[in-house]
Structure 1
Amino acid sequence: MKDMKNKENLTDRDWQELAGFMSEETGIKSEKLKRFMAEDSYETERKWKELKYMKNNEQINVDQAWDKVVSKINETENNIIQGPGSVILLRRTLMKIAAVALILLSIGAAAVYIVKTDALSRKITATTGNDEKNLRVTLPDGSSVILNRNTRLSYRSNFGRSGRNVSLDGEAFFEITPDKSNAFTVDAGKAMIKVLGTSFNVITNNDESAVEVFVETGHVMLYDESGSQNIMLDPGFVGTLSQKSSKKKLNDNPNYMAWNKGLLNYSGQTLEVVFHDLKRVYNMEIVADDKEILELPWAITIDNQSQDTIIRLICASFILNYTKDGNVYHLRKK
């Protein structure tokens, strides 16, 4: 009964991650799934590979396959309920991930069918590297996503037909096509974001290792997978959510969205603030060898200048010297 218990504890996201791993699209990050695979007595991986290499011309009877899934689920439920108070969540999970269920329940490769499921649909992924930003991705529903550096956006090829769900790792700005009957959901790893039609920015791992969302228009729900933490964000607010806490505040940073346009305006902010923004917007790593430098105020506009031009502007404004070690600029007083 050990394996069946493990299956009951898997969430919908776990099933999707398992499907991605079996399809050789992603690795397994979840410790829970690693334990499941280590204890797996259903030979899941072998049977998935048999499904993968099934002949393309083999005839598939979808209705017959679906009936077999339902029959097997009922049979399994009857076998595993052991006493009062037992809660069996297997039906919901197996219905959603029917192909995985067929394998896990050992129906056998000859009887495995691709049925009513989105777990096996092709994943589409857009990525940016360290020197790339402002990659615009137009989703099938017309929604637009602009990716910052070192960002990965993934969604299934049946996007829009079976929900509007994407996964994000990094930072991106979303402009969502309104659809009141079909919410748009972003899986940001530690948190989920749900909207109907709005524009907002997402950072999946900010300086405090939290998911951060800034709302430009509309309303956004930020919540964790368990539902124990949730925040409703209105335009102009920034919300953060981590495993320990959730909070929101009115955005007071006029340069919050500068990574998208490259325009930074300062009217007395300290160089510590400026250096933080330059890292996010221009991918500049600046270290003040003399810590007093960080407290110096600066009033200037930076509009898509090169890194070398920016560092020279800083040095000329405050009579500083700089050296460059690899990709890191070091500042010190003359």
Structure 2
Amino acid sequence: MKFNEQNKADWEEMSSYLAGEMTVEEKEAFEQRISFSENNKEYFEEVKSDWEKMNNLKEQKMFDTDKAWGKLYDKFEEEGLLETKQKKFNIRRIVEIAAVFLVGIVLTTLAYYALFDSEKKGWQVASTYENTEIKQVELTDGSIVYLNANSKLYYPETFEGETRTIEFEGDGFFEIAKNPAKPFIIKAKKAEIKVLGTSFNVNTKKGEDRVEVLVETGKVQLSDLKGGKSDILLPGDIGKLNDNQIIKEPNKDKNYLSWKTRYLNFEEVPFEQIIEAINRTYNVEIIYDKKRITNSGFNTTFNNDPLDTVLNIISEAKQLSYKKQGNTIVLTKNKLS
């Protein structure tokens, strides 16, 4: 799969690699992804170069501004951009003013990261990427978090204060240890999920400004950090926060947690929904021509079956063939004999 410069998850994955935050397994998986195509290699080298420049900027203690202006001025002069003394003064003055703003932006950025690091001092990061197994993380209070692919969990070494607060993005299932005196709080994008002791799923919907919470046991409060709205979710409820609106409804997707259980049950489900469930369960991207392949479904059940077994069964049921291309699977309609 190619890197996407608009994809936040791709940027975070590269940042984790360059910062040395990956495990050996995660590093190997990332390097394998880089080698997937020449475009990936070239794009990553550009990002790596920018990263190294930023690190060099952080390490510099002092700038020789006169020397820098001199070089910039000489560059303008060589390219014929300075035709008169009046022009020379104006351009240099404009560049100096622009530089003041640039330095201010850089200092503000560095100050932000310094503050962020200070606030998150002692925090841990657990990450998963494409084609990685489900990661199980046990927190110091006894709570357990299961991370699906392309997910990140930020949590402190120990929970201090009056709450147990963590930050999360991606797709994860939470089993929270009960402690009525110390609520468990999850910050996910613009949502805040508050619980006392329960089990539920959080999905921040990659590439979308949306958060979904599905409650399996207990009670959860879903709040909009920007709009101030909140709602209580009970077992079987799914809460969706989008565009500053919270929608609560019964969950009708029996395969919503299949990525964790590896159990899929299809009963007269449209083919499009079958593909969506398989994509989420096995962390793949199945593509097909919707004009040539009908949306009619079929009845079947999968219980922790390998991906190839699943693909063979749906291919036989729909008279299809499939071809793997990295993390992408292409389905095509068989030709009539």
TM-score computed with the length of structure 1 as normaliser: 0.63
How many percent identity over aligned positions?
A: 34
Letter in 1 for 2:205: N
Question: Who is 1:283 aligned against?
Answer: 283
Question: Who is 1:306 aligned against?
Answer: 306
For structure 2, which runs of at least 5 residues remain unmatched after alignment? 1-18, 22-50, 52-100
Letter in 2 for 1:293: I
- Residue 216 in structure 1 maps to residue 227 in structure 2: no
3-state SS in 1 of match to 2:248: strand
Contact 1:290–1:333 (CA under 8 A) maintained in structure 2: no
1:47/1:250 CA distance change after superposition, 3 Å? closer
For structure 1, which runs of at least 5 residues remain unmatched after alignment? 1-23, 28-34, 50-99, 101-117
- The structure that is helix-richer by fraction is 2
3-state SS in 2 of match to 1:268: coil
1:155-194 equivalences under 5 Å are 155-161=155-161, 163-194=163-194
Letter in 1 for 2:214: F
1:46/1:179 CA distance change after superposition, 3 Å? closer
Q: Distance in 1 between matches of 2:259 and 2:109?
A: 44
3-state SS in 2 of match to 1:232: strand
Question: Who is 2:332 aligned against?
Answer: 332
What are the Cα deviations for residues 283-305 of structure 1, in whole angstroms up to 9, with x where unaligned?
23212224353512111111222
Letter in 2 for 1:200: F
- Higher mean C-alpha deviation, range 160-169 or range 124-133: 160-169
What are the Cα deviations for residues 241-270 of structure 1, in whole angstroms up to 9, with x where unaligned?
023422011011111111111110111111
3-state SS in 1 of match to 2:309: helix
1:157/1:186 CA distance change after superposition, 3 Å? same
Question: Who is 2:231 aligned against?
Answer: 231
1:70-219 equivalences under 5 Å are 119=119, 121-161=121-161, 163-205=163-205, 209-219=209-219
Question: Who is 1:258 aligned against?
Answer: 258
- Higher mean C-alpha deviation, range 161-170 or range 138-147: 161-170
What are the Cα deviations for residues 131-151 of structure 1, in whole angstroms up to 9, with x where unaligned?
223311111111111111111
* Deviation, structure 1 residue 168: 0.5
Q: Distance in 2 between matches of 1:323 and 1:46?
A: 49
Contact 1:171–1:201 (CA under 8 A) maintained in structure 2: yes
Q: Distance in 2 between matches of 1:44 and 1:202?
A: 30
* Deviation, structure 1 residue 212: 0.4
What are the Cα deviations for residues 7-46 of structure 1, in whole angstroms up to 9, with x where unaligned?
xxxxxxxxxxxxxxxxx9999xxxxxxx9x94699x8957
Q: Distance in 1 between matches of 2:135 and 2:112?
A: 38
3-state SS in 1 of match to 2:154: strand
1:48/1:252 CA distance change after superposition, 3 Å? closer
Q: Distance in 2 between matches of 1:223 and 1:127?
A: 25
Q: Distance in 1 between matches of 2:182 and 2:20?
A: 26
Question: Who is 1:269 aligned against?
Answer: 269
Contact 2:224–2:244 (CA under 8 A) maintained in structure 1: no
